[in-house]
Structures are given as C-alpha cells and as structure tokens.
C-alpha cells in the first residue's frame, strides 16, 4: 500500500510539474519569434521534453559551466535554459526563431516557473523542501474567489483536453461510441483532478465529495453536449439542378466527373483549354461558364469540369479519398480521355494551385498555363488573408452549427469519424452557409457579386485538399526547371496578399504578370473584357494591350479602372 501511495505521489508531482511547464511555455509562445506548429498535444509534448531535459541534462550543463554561472551572478542559467529550449525545438512542435529568441524565452519560462511554483507550494499543491521559506496560506475570501475562477477555467480546459483526445483517437477508429466514451472519460478525470486541487486549496473537509460532485456535473454537461451535437438536425443541401450541356465522364480513377464542353468554332492546331475552378469545394459556377466559352470562338476546345465531390460531379463513398493527389490524377485522366498529349491549363484561386501542382509534376503535358488570383504554392506562415478591400470586410459568413464545426475539425484527423457524424450533404451546408460571393469583388462593386444557389458545395473536399496539399513537397524547385509559358493575373481587391503573386513570379521562369485595378478575386466579374483581351493575347501569341507588370515591391495598376 505504501508503494502504491508513493507511486501516486510521484505521478501527481509529475503532472503538476508538467502543468507548470505547460503554462510557462504557453506564456512564452506569446513572443513573436516563438510559436507551436499546429498539431495535437504539441504543447504537452514540448512540456514533457523540457521537463526531462531540465531533470537530466541541465545539471550536467550547470556543472560544466559553473565558473560562467558564478561570474555572471547566475544569469548564465538563462543561456543553458535557452539551449534546452532549442533542443526541445528539435524534438517537438516548438518553433524558435533563433538563439536570441531562445534566451528571451528562457527568461519568460524561468520567471513563470518561479511564480507558479511559489503559488502552487503556498496552496499545498506542490511539495516543499525542508528549507523552502514558502508557507501554506489560509484561504481568505480573495483566494477563494481566485480558486473558484480557476475551477471554471479547469472545467473549460477539461473540455478542450477531451476534444483533443477525440481528435487523436479518430486517427485510429471511426466509431463514434468509442470516441464519445473516451471524451467523457477524459472530461471526468481531468475535471476530477482540477476540482480536487481546488478543494485542497479551499481546505474543504470533504474533498472527495466536492471533487466528485464537480466532476459528475461536468461530465453530465458533456454528455448533454454530445447528445445535442449528434442529434442536431442539419438540412442537407439540395442537389444542384442539371446544367444545360453538362456531360458525365467515368474516369479510370473511379471519379464521375461533370464536364462542360464548348467546341472550337474554327478548329486550330492547339491543345484543349481546361479550366480549373476555385474552391476547391465549390464546383464550376455559371459566370465562369459564360466567360470561358468565348474562347471557343478563337479556335480552342474549351472544357470546364467540377472536381470530384463538388458541383454536379459524383461524390466519393469515403471522404478520405478526396485530396490533391486525387485531383491531379483526375486531371491527367481527363487529358487521356481527350486523347491529347498537352493541355492549356487555366486555374482560378485554388484551381491555379492545382494547375501549378500538375505543371510541377508533368511539365511536358502543359503547353501554357494561366494562374488567376492564385492561392499560395507553399504556405510558410507568411500569408495572411485580408478582406478589408472586398465588399465583405468581415469575410465569409459565420457558421455556428456545432455538429458541422466538430465534423470539420475531425475531418483533418479522422475523416471516417467525421463522415459518421455529418454526411457530405450536411457538410455542403457548412460551406454553402459560410460562402460569401461579396469577397470576390471590391467594396464599390458589391452589385457585381454573383448569386450562388444550389451549387453543389462540399466542405469535405475543401478540408481534405488543404490537408493533403500540406503533405506534398514544395513544388517550386520543380517549377523552376521548366520553361512553360505562364500568365499570372492579379487583382487590386483580392483578399490574398501580393506576396502570393511574388511567389509565383519567383517560381516560374517564363511568366508575365498583369495587375487589374478595380477587380476582386474573381477578375471577370468586373473586368471581363480586359481580362479576355489579355488572355487572348497570351493564348494566341499576340502583342499585349499593355506592358505586363515587372517591378518589385508593391503592385502598380497597369489595367485602369
């Protein structure tokens, strides 16, 4: 029994030490040069690594540098802790922007550790050494208020930990019953631990009863929330009506694709022009069909198609099958279906990124490429969306349905579990309700935004494409190896930053860039004639109506309003 109690005591001390380090690292991440990569349990992993390094490596480093520590009146300890933070950076999701930030971070962690440890010792939560001057304080009214506030924060934290456990488990099981059970078990245990510590601080006589009641009520609230989420009615999006002229192709990849073909009026010896729509969970919209079919008059076979899972194309049985690799395979299968060796690719937004990915993999299969308001080739954290110049400064519409938001979070980790919670039709509602076409135009052109109804949205496609793209290597080195003629079109009111255009300029060897003043993310909505003129000059190898932008820094309007 004594060994059992001793083991529990050591476990409790370890958890408290980890919690102190967890809070200290969170405070440290407020520094501009220090952050945590997105991921599950990243902060906990960093806390555990730092605690272990502090326990085993710090004494060795202190012994080796004792003269320096003495000479600097103990300040060299911060250098040692900075080294430990850099080692933590190597093994976990902690990212530190250099040795200077590591030193500054070590100061923050050191101060937070001292402050938190002192507070925990005074509450009796952390064991004190015999010569420790800290005394356990009696719970006055101010301390009672602080502890009850901490209890509320602890309950919220318990919910967050339960949700993180669900995300982690969803990677290995899609059974909602198992995930719900794990969530409730985590909620119960974490809230029980928090309430027990609060009871100790309050010097409550019946700590077990207090903590049991708090943990029981918290778990009951969690069960009610789960029931509400699981049973929440979400009306599925109505399937879009058939479009005139739509054809359906069954590709060897297993995708059933809806295509829109506008045959060349005067046949030319040119590859077909294939348009890749934005989204990627949106599908082809009517304004896009209206704009691109005009190039059939210039002798191009024009094809537009809905990505698999969107628009009028077929949905895949399992959402895990969606992703950028599937889209690249479908695009190449379409090329084979057309019986041609080369394509002319025109991509809008996320479609431009798909075109760039395809070009980087199959440069010999692309005659020319047009990138319109493209999304980043490689997002290294420097690009920030800004809707201030658009007709919707607040961006997409907010969606508050808990069921859809939980399913969206699950889709990045356990797509099977997400699909068991919310169907593809229901997730179409998530994207349809958040979608705001006013983000596509400048503030002064709100009336030009298209009306989008029953467009065949699919949020799962959007989420899976974004996640799978992050897993692919950077395409820029491959793009720099080919001379495929490329045209990049940028807009004044695009919510994507100018740095994205610069990224394409630097990655493509044979590119021209045009900047359209008075245009938003979808340029053809307000500058259709000028955009068509520029594209036609590029496609037909004619002289351009104006010089392409070739300067550095901020963009200049070369296509007037």
Q: Are residues 218 and 281 in the same domain?
A: no
Helices then strands, counting H and E runs in the chain, come out as: 19, 10
Look at residue 443 and tell me if it is in a domain: yes
Measured in degrees and rounded to the nearest 5, phi and psi for residue 83 equal -65, -40
Cβ neighbours, 10 Å, residue 37: 10
Q: What pLDDT, on the 0 to 100 scale, is given for residue 83?
A: 94
Q: Are residues 116 and 195 in the same domain?
A: no
Rounded Cα gap, residues 481 and 360, in angstroms: 9
Q: Are residues 226 and 263 in the same domain?
A: no
Q: What pLDDT, on the 0 to 100 scale, is given for residue 279?
A: 85
Rounded Cα gap, residues 249 and 551, in angstroms: 44
Residue-wise pLDDT tens digits, 281-310: 888 998 999 999 999 999 999 999 999 999
Burial tier of 124 (Cβ tally within 10 Å: 0-12, 13-18, 19+): middle
Q: Are residues 174 and 317 in the same domain?
A: no
Q: What pLDDT, on the 0 to 100 scale, is given for residue 196?
A: 85
Q: Which of 231, 255, 284 corresponds to the end of one domain?
A: 231
Domain CATH code at residue 456: 3.40.50.1820
Q: Are residues 280 and 324 in the same domain?
A: yes
Q: Are residues 330 and 266 in the same domain?
A: yes
Q: Write the CB contacts of 1 (distance below 8 Å, at least 6 apart in sequence).
A: none
Cβ neighbours, 10 Å, residue 150: 16
Residue 144 has pLDDT above 70, yes or no: yes
**Pairing relationship of beta strands 486-491 and 343-348 according to DSSP bridges:** unpaired
Q: Which of 202, 231, 260 corresponds to the end of one domain?
A: 231
- Which uninterrupted H or E stretch holds 134? none
Q: Are residues 175 and 277 in the same domain?
A: no
Note whether 428 and 235 are within 8 A (CB): no
Look at residue 451 and tell me if it is in a domain: yes
Rounded Cα gap, residues 197 and 201, in angstroms: 6
- Identify which of 321, 326, 260 has the alpha carbon closest to the alpha carbon of residue 287: 260
Least confident of 170-179, 260-269, 289-298, 329-338: 260-269
Q: What pLDDT, on the 0 to 100 scale, is given for residue 561?
A: 46
Residue-wise pLDDT tens digits, 465-512: 999 998 899 999 999 988 999 999 999 999 999 999 999 999 998 889
Q: What average pLDDT does the structure give for the chain? A: 89
- pLDDT-derived band at 547 (thresholds 50, 70, 90) equals low
Rounded Cα gap, residues 440 and 121, in angstroms: 56
Residue 560 has pLDDT above 60, yes or no: no
Look at residue 106 and tell me if it is in a domain: yes
Residue-wise pLDDT tens digits, 519-536: 999 999 999 999 999 999
- pTM: predicted TM-score of the whole model, two decimal places: 0.86
Rounded (10°) angle between helices 207-231 and 402-411 = 90
Cβ neighbours, 10 Å, residue 213: 12
Least confident of 136-140, 273-277, 345-349, 401-405: 136-140
Rounded Cα gap, residues 184 and 176, in angstroms: 12
- End-to-end Cα distance, the chain: 82
The count of structural domains within the chain is 3
Q: What pLDDT, on the 0 to 100 scale, is given for residue 479?
A: 94
Residue-wise pLDDT tens digits, 419-478: 999 999 999 888 888 999 999 999 999 999 988 876 789 999 999 999 999 889 999 999
Q: What pLDDT, on the 0 to 100 scale, is given for residue 16?
A: 85
Q: Are residues 153 and 297 in the same domain?
A: no
Rounded Cα gap, residues 405 and 119, in angstroms: 37
Q: Are residues 323 and 444 in the same domain?
A: yes
Look at residue 130 and tell me if it is in a domain: no
- Choose between 12 and 56: higher pLDDT: 56
And the tokens for 84? 């430990």
Q: Which domain holds residue 8?
A: 2-122
Q: Are residues 206 and 114 in the same domain?
A: no
Look at residue 336 and tell me if it is in a domain: yes
Look at residue 226 and tell me if it is in a domain: yes
Measured in degrees and rounded to the nearest 5, phi and psi for residue 271 equal -65, 155
- Choose between 393 and 3: higher pLDDT: 393
User: Looking at the DSSP assignment, which residues form a beta bridge with residue 488?
Assistant: 371, 513
Q: What pLDDT, on the 0 to 100 scale, is given for residue 556?
A: 59
Residue 117 has pLDDT above 70, yes or no: yes
Note whether 262 and 453 are within 8 A (CB): no
Residue-wise pLDDT tens digits, 386-397: 999 999 999 999
Residue-wise pLDDT tens digits, 302-324: 999 999 999 999 999 999 999 99
Look at residue 284 and tell me if it is in a domain: yes
- Choose between 84 and 147: higher pLDDT: 84
Look at residue 553 and tell me if it is in a domain: no
Q: Are residues 216 and 164 in the same domain?
A: yes
Q: What pLDDT, on the 0 to 100 scale, is given for residue 307?
A: 96
Rounded Cα gap, residues 493 and 519, in angstroms: 6
Map residue 436 onto helix, strand or coil: coil
Residue 217 has pLDDT above 70, yes or no: yes
Q: Are residues 88 and 32 in the same domain?
A: yes
Map residue 345 onto helix, strand or coil: strand
Residue 14 has pLDDT above 90, yes or no: no
- Choose between 279 and 227: higher pLDDT: 227
- Which uninterrupted H or E stretch holds 4? helix 2-28
Q: Write the CB contacts of 12 (distance below 8 Å, at least 6 apart in sequence).
A: none
Q: What pLDDT, on the 0 to 100 scale, is given for residue 543?
A: 86
Q: Which of 231, 261, 286 corresponds to the end of one domain?
A: 231
Q: What pLDDT, on the 0 to 100 scale, is given for residue 168?
A: 95
Note whether 318 and 416 are within 8 A (CB): yes
């Amino acid at each position: 029994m004594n060994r059992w109690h001793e083991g529990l005591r050591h476990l409790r001390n370890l958890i408290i030490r980890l919690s102190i380090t967890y809070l200290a690292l969170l405070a440290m991440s407020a520094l501009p040069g220090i952050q945590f990569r997105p991921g599950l349990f990243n902060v906990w992993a960093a806390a555990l690594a730092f605690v272990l390094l502090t326990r085993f490596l710090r004494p060795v480093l202190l012994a080796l540098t004792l003269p320096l520590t003495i000479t600097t009146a103990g300040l060299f300890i911060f250098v040692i802790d900075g080294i430990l933070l850099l080692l933590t950076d190597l093994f976990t999701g902690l990212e530190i922007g250099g040795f200077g930030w590591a030193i500054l971070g070590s100061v923050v962690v050191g101060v937070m550790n001292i402050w938190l440890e002192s507070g925990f010792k005074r509450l009796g939560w952390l064991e004190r050494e015999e010569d420790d001057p800290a005394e356990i304080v009696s719970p006055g009214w101010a301390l009672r208020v602080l502890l009850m506030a901490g209890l509320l924060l602890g309950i919220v934290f318990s919910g967050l930990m339960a949700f993180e456990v669900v995300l982690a488990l969803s990677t290995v099981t899609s059974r909602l019953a198992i995930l719900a059970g794990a969530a409730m078990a985590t909620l119960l245990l974490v809230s029980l631990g928090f309430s027990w510590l609060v009871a100790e601080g309050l010097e409550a006589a019946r700590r077990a009863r207090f903590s049991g009641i708090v943990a029981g009520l918290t778990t009951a609230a969690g069960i009610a929330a789960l029931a509400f989420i699981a049973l929440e009615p979400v009306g599925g999006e109505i399937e879009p009506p058939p479009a005139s002229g739509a054809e359906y192709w069954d590709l060897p990849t297993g995708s059933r694709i809806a295509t829109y073909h506008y045959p060349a009026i005067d046949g030319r010896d040119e590859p077909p022009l294939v348009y890749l729509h934005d989204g990627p969970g949106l599908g082809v919209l009517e304004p896009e069909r209206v704009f691109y079919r005009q190039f059939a008059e210039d002798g191009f076979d024009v094809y537009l198609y809905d990505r698999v899972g969107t628009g009028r194309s077929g949905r895949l049985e399992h959402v895990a099958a969606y992703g950028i690799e599937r889209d690249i395979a479908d695009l190449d299968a379409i090329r084979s279906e057309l019986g041609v060796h080369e394509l002319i690719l025109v991509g809008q937004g996320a479609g431009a990124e798909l075109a760039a990915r395809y070009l980087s993999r199959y440069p010999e299969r692309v005659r020319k490429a047009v990138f319109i308001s493209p999304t980043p080739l490689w997002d290294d954290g420097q690009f920030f969306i800004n809707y201030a110049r658009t007709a919707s400064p607040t961006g997409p519409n907010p969606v508050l349905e808990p069921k859809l938001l939980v399913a969206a979070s699950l889709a990045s980790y356990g797509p099977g579990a997400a699909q068991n919670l919310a169907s593809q039709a229901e997730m179409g509602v998530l994207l349809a309700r958040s979608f705001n076409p006013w983000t596509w135009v400048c503030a002064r052109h709100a009336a030009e935004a298209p009306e989008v109804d029953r467009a065949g949205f699919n949020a799962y496609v959007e989420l899976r494409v974004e996640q799978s793209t992050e897993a692919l290597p950077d395409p820029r080195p491959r793009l720099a190896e080919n001379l495929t003629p490329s045209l990049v079109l940028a807009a004044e009111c695009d919510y994507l930053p100018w740095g994205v255009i610069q990224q394409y300029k630097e990655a493509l060897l044979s590119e021209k860039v045009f900047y359209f003043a008075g245009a938003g993310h979808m340029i053809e909505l307000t500058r259709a004639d000028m955009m068509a003129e520029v594209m036609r000059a590029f496609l037909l190898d004619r002289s351009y109506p104006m010089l392409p932008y070739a300067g550095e820094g901020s963009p200049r309007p070369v296509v007037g309003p």
